[in-house]
């Protein structure tokens, strides 16, 4: 990607540079290089805006919103995402952009503890996806947050159906990250059902998958979730293992914060 970006910069090709920086931002986010990710995404947004490429700008804003949400900059993230909705309305890939944006907004509001707004954003995203035909990539973003929202609402039957769909999509696509996302969702659902052993098995598999994919942020989230399950199960050794998992999660979060 760096070689492609260098070539685009030498040719003074703003669209190519914007595309490269959008991808770079996503990759740096997953790798835990959050400052570099933010810089790349903001450059991408600026370039796409300058050349009037609404689809590219909306998608770059969506990725920046996801990054800022992960950092806990929730209001700033929502402002970016809300502006992206306006940009997406004039985008060639309008439906795809909006589905992804609503997924990011649902996750943001769920993180903020605003379940009503999270549910509304999820509804808008699912409606957009169903109206314009399912897109595998967009579903990959909508389905995990759909599981989380329904679990938070104690709508476990619906959560189970979204989880099943996510597992099906992940198996078909074959991505290590997608498979880990599906396992994390399965862990959330099992934990909500009180199936502690199944939840821990799912989270353990998700942690391994995210680590193999180099996605430490999601691995840390799974470690925290597993620690919660162990505290609730309270079997022999669970307290110590919960402390170890939470400590590891906090170490990862501190490392990511230091990279900003």
Give the long-range contacts of residues 191-198, CB within 8 A, separation 24 or more: 191/225, 191/228, 191/229, 191/232, 192/151, 192/154, 192/156, 192/159, 193/156, 196/229, 196/230, 196/232, 196/233, 197/233
Q: What is the pTM of this model?
A: 0.92
List the domains of the chain with CATH numbers. 175-260 (1.25.40)
What is the full per-residue pLDDT of the chain (260 aa) written as tens digits?
Answer: 556 555 555 455 789 999 999 999 999 999 999 999 999 999 999 999 999 999 999 999 999 999 999 999 999 999 999 999 999 999 888 888 999 999 999 999 999 999 999 999 999 999 887 776 667 677 678 999 999 999 999 999 999 999 999 999 899 888 899 999 999 999 999 999 999 999 999 999 999 999 999 999 999 999 999 999 999 999 999 999 999 999 999 999 999 987 67
pLDDT, position 75: 97
């Amino acid at each position: 990607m760096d070689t492609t970006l260098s070539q685009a910069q030498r040719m003074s090709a703003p669209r190519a540079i914007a595309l490269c920086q959008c991808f770079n931002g996503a990759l740096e986010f997953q790798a835990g290089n959050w400052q570099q990710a933010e810089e790349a995404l903001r450059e991408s947004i600026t370039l796409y805006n300058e050349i009037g490429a609404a689809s590219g700008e909306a998608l770059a804003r969506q990725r920046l919103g996801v990054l800022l949400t992960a950092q806990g900059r929730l209001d700033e993230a929502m402002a970016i995402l809300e502006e992206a909705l306006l940009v997406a309305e004039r985008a060639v890939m309008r439906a795809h952009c909006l589905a992804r944006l609503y997924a990011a907004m649902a996750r943001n509001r769920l993180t903020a503890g605003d379940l009503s707004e999270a549910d509304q954003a999820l509804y808008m995203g699912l409606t957009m996806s169903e109206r314009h035909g399912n897109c595998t990539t967009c579903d990959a973003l909508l389905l995990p947050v759909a599981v989380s929202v329904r679990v938070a609402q104690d709508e476990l039957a619906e959560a189970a159906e979204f989880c099943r769909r996510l597992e099906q999509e992940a198996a078909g696509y074959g991505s290590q990250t997608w498979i880990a996302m599906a396992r994390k969702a399965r862990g959330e659902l099992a934990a909500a059902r009180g199936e502690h052993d199944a939840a821990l098995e799912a989270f353990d598999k998700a942690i391994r998958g995210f680590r193999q994919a180099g996605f430490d942020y999601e691995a840390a989230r799974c470690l925290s979730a597993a620690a919660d399950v162990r505290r609730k199960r309270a079997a022999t050794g669970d307290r110590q293992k919960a402390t170890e998992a939470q400590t590891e999660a906090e170490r990862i979060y501190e490392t990511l914060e230091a990279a900003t």
